[in-house]
Structure formats: C-alpha cells, structure tokens
Amino acid sequence: MLEDEDSDRIEKICPVCQVEATKRCSRCALVYYCSVEHQQQHWKKHKATCNPFKVFSNEQFGRFLVATREIRAGEVVIKEPPLVHGPAQITGPVCVGCLQIAIQHFYVPHPMYQCLMPLRCLLLAESDPAKWELLQQLESHEEERRGSELWRNDREGVAKLIPRFFKTGDRWDEDEILRIVGIIQVNGHEIPLSVPSSVAIYNQASMLEHSCRPNLSKSFTNRGEIVLWAPNTIKRGERLSICYTDAMWATGNRLEHLQQTKMFRCECERCSDPTEYETYFSALRCSGFQKDSKCKGYILPVDSDNWTTGDWSCQKCRGVVTGAAVGQILERARMDLEAMQKHREDHCNKYMKHYSKWLTPNHQYLVDVKISLSQVIGGKAPEAIKKIPYEKLMSKIKICQDLLTLFEKICPAEARAFGATRFELHAALAELARRSTESNNPACTSQLEESLYNANECVRMLLHEPAVLMESKICAQAKMNAEALKSLLGIKE
C-alpha cells in the first residue's frame, strides 16, 4: 500500500523554479508546481514519467505498480507500443513482417518460427540500445527455468538452432539466448489481432503483477499498442494487476499454468479461497460421486494447495473422493466440451443436463456452455429473438443475469465477458419490453430502461476493443441500439 507518509515525502518544490509549490499534477499526483505556466513548461519533460502509479518492489513479487491516486472507472492507466513484436513461439506459417497474413492450407508449425522472436530481441542490442536496456531489466527466471521440460525444449529448438540455422557463430551463447526466451515467456502478451495470434513485450505493462481477480482490463489497438484500463474505480494505494492466465479457468488449471510458465505459486485472494467467493467455480457435486446419495454438498480439495493429485472432500457430509475420480470426470467433461458444437442449443442443453450431475452450477465448464447458450438462444438470425417462446426469452435473461453475478464475484475486470453478456441481456430485455407493450403491460418502461442500462454498460466494457475484433462490432451495434432505446424512452442528451 501507498501510505499517507509517502505523499508527505513527495517534494513540494516546483521543478522549474525550485520554489515551494502547492498545485499538484492531477494525472500522477506526484509532482507539484508553483503555477499553471510552469506546469505547461515542464510537460514535455514530465510526460514520459507522468503516470497514476509508482513502481515498488519486494522479495516475493519483484517489481509491482501501486496507484498514486484514485483511478476512475473507465480510465486508461497504461497505453504503450511494444518493445518487440513477433510471431508466437508455436505458430502456423505466417508473414513475419506484418504478422497478419496467415498462409492457408498448411498448418504444421515450423521450428524456425520459435527463433524469430528471440532473434528480434537479441538484435535490439544494436538496432535500438535504449529498448534493449529496458528489455534486459525484465524478469527471465533463468535459474528457475533451467532443467525444466520447457527449458530443455527451448535449448534444442531455439538456443542450438539459432547459431546453426542463421549461421550466427558464437555471437550469442546458449545461456544468453535462453535468458531472452525466459524474458519472452514471463513477460510476453498474446496479441489476438491476427490468426494465428502473435506475441509482444511491453515495458511498463511488464511491471504489473498478476492476480486471478485483477483490477485492470487488457486490450490492444489495431497498431499493437497495449491498453490497460480500469473497469471499476481503483483506490489510491491499491496495487495494479492483470491476469497472466485465464480468469475463466478453474483454480487448479490457473495455478498449474502460472507455475509452469511464470514460475510462481499464486497466493491471490481468489486462489486463497477454494470456494472462490462462494461461487464454487472449481468445485464438484458430492452426490455425483456417491451412489444413491442425496447430499447437496460440494467437494473441494482436502489440501487447497493440491488441486491435481490429492483427495477431495465434501463440505457438508465430509465424504472423501479420490483425486483420480475427480480428474477422470473433469477430463471427460473437458473433452466433451471441446468436441461439442457450441452454436447448437440442443448440444448445449444436452451437455448441461449430463454434467450437472457432477459439476456445480457455476463450474468453469457449465459456465462456458452457459455463455454459449446466452448467445444462441434467439441469436441465430437478426429477428430470431422475436419468435422464441416466452419461457426461452426468460431463460436467456436468467442465464445472462446469473453470469453477470458470477463475473462480478470472480472477475470484475473481465471486460469482454461483461460486454458480450450485457449485449445479450440488453437484446432480451428490449424484446421483453416489446412484448409487454403489445400486451399493455406497464412493466415495459422499466424493461426498456434496464435494456438501455445494459446497452450502455456493453459499450463501456467494449470501448477499447480494436476494429478487427468481433467485440468492436458488438460495441458499435450496442451504441446504435442505445440511441434507439433513448429515443423510445424520450431521453434527450
């Protein structure tokens, strides 16, 4: 936390004329000026370091960022271009210049692609020493990675291949190359702007710590800049975080992924609470494992540090289930989820019916299917929602509302999940209002108002999505619909 004493320690001296100053820079809250003129004069210099956060560090986390003032909901906290941008480590053939044009019809990853991003990083030493300097300061976990399976693959596929294939001789030794590979793995961001996606490393964004319930949302501009913004207000003194893994994965999967790729054990608030704020997002149902049991309890790992191999036990009847039995169900549920056609309502319903026996209503896999259902019910064609029966419309609304309640609890900064669900909810509520109007139901105004609220929230959540992504089209549609709803409600700006 940023203590009050910290702000007292900030020098209240105008950097231009060195006299005592009282006017604080409102963006960073860290520099004081004697006058607006001197603030304007100093801006060119100050711009580069004017941020609403400060870098701190400790033994457990290394460097991390702390808000130096309250950050308002919707505010962009970091927007910066990449230090390096290149093809992903494992990728199908792709243009190495624009990274946009995937060559069609042959999909086998070529081993040479693994070398390109490390090479681009290594070449920065000559092409852009300032960027190279920044890159060098990033965490590589070179010692922790050494000897692991990933490290051995990187040694064979990158460190040994670069000198052989590119004839670089002894320009870089194996350790030097492997350190860069570590920097890419620990700090790289997947850029979803092309198919296949690419990878980029940023400077400031690399200081952000991980949380499975982060307070920043990540997006990219069409030019590959990273945009990190706050969907909800962040208090002064709060640590800024992003999710390095997928916030919509169960705890065991998140922990394993973070350990393998980022080399740390996550101890965030969400991981420390196996119930995940009583959503039971990673839990299973006791009754699915005990024949003829009517127990309504949920099972969780006996040892919350071990989600993969140890026993699980019921929170209610204390019955024990082996990790192997849990693993078997989860693997089957995962494979069936992968194989099913999510755009088919009947497939989704069949999956829900079958796996509800073992999985909790908020379990990762059922939530995945509910997200699909929220989109396919009444969403097949532009006017399809007008034709669905009332019960189905209400079921779409309930699914959306349940999803939003869950997102608020486990991932309140997951802007794309919120945006997509808010869109579906606003559409269903608008249709409900249309039917209410037809039947002279007075609820129609409040339904329209609720629909408008959800359309506006959809826009707010998807505002930073780049034009190439579907989310940006959803945002544009929601904007148009919000205007139409406002005029129906007689709201003027």
Q: Which residues bind ligand SAM (CB under 6 A)?
A: 60-64, 138-139, 141, 186-187, 206-207, 209-210, 262-264, 266, 268
Contact in structure between 201 and 135 (CB atoms under 8 Å):
yes
- Which of 182, 466 has the CB closer to ligand SAM? 182
- H runs (alpha helix) in 128-236: 129-136, 142-145, 149-154, 161-166, 174-187
Q: How far is CA 374 from CA 259, 279, 392, 393, 400, in A?
A: 33, 19, 11, 10, 6
Minimal CB distance to ligand SAM: which residue?
A: 62
Measured distance CA(204)–CA(226) in Å, rounded: 10
Contact in structure between 444 and 433 (CB atoms under 8 Å):
yes
| Minimum CB distance to ligand SAM, residue 50 (Å) | 21
- Which of 271, 284 has the CB closer to ligand SAM? 271
| Minimum CB distance to ligand SAM, residue 242 (Å) | 9
Spell out the residues 6+ positions from residue 94 whose beta carbon is closer than 8 angstroms to its own: 87, 100, 101, 102, 103, 113, 194, 196, 198
- Which of 255, 376 has the CB closer to ligand SAM? 255
**What count of other Cβ atoms lies within 10 Å of the Cβ of residue 108?**
7
The candidate with the shortest Cα–Cα distance to 436, out of 456, 419, 450, is 450
Q: What are phi and psi of 44, to 5 degrees?
A: -55, -40
| Minimum CB distance to ligand SAM, residue 66 (Å) | 13
Contact in structure between 462 and 474 (CB atoms under 8 Å):
yes
| Minimum CB distance to ligand SAM, residue 196 (Å) | 23
The candidate with the shortest Cα–Cα distance to 43, out of 20, 25, 29, is 25
The DSSP line for 361-382 is TT-HHHHHHHHHHHHHTT-SST
Q: Mapped to the 3 state alphabet, what secondary structure does 303-319 carry? A: CCCCCCCCCEEECCCCC
- Which of 55, 95 has the CB closer to ligand SAM? 55
- Which of 175, 267 has the CB closer to ligand SAM? 267
- Which of 28, 268 has the CB closer to ligand SAM? 268
Helix (H) / strand (E) containing 241: strand 241-242
| Minimum CB distance to ligand SAM, residue 358 (Å) | 31
- Which of 265, 318 has the CB closer to ligand SAM? 265
Measured distance CA(84)–CA(222) in Å, rounded: 16
| Minimum CB distance to ligand SAM, residue 97 (Å) | 27
- Which of 124, 263 has the CB closer to ligand SAM? 263
Measured distance CA(400)–CA(417) in Å, rounded: 11
Enter the tokens of residue 469.
Answer: 């992504």
| Minimum CB distance to ligand SAM, residue 261 (Å) | 8
- Which of 84, 263 has the CB closer to ligand SAM? 263
- Which of 56, 453 has the CB closer to ligand SAM? 56
- Which of 145, 464 has the CB closer to ligand SAM? 145
| Minimum CB distance to ligand SAM, residue 247 (Å) | 13
Enter the tokens of residue 399.
Answer: 């699914």
Measured distance CA(240)–CA(232) in Å, rounded: 12
| Minimum CB distance to ligand SAM, residue 253 (Å) | 16
| Minimum CB distance to ligand SAM, residue 268 (Å) | 6
Measured distance CA(311)–CA(327) in Å, rounded: 10
| Minimum CB distance to ligand SAM, residue 234 (Å) | 17
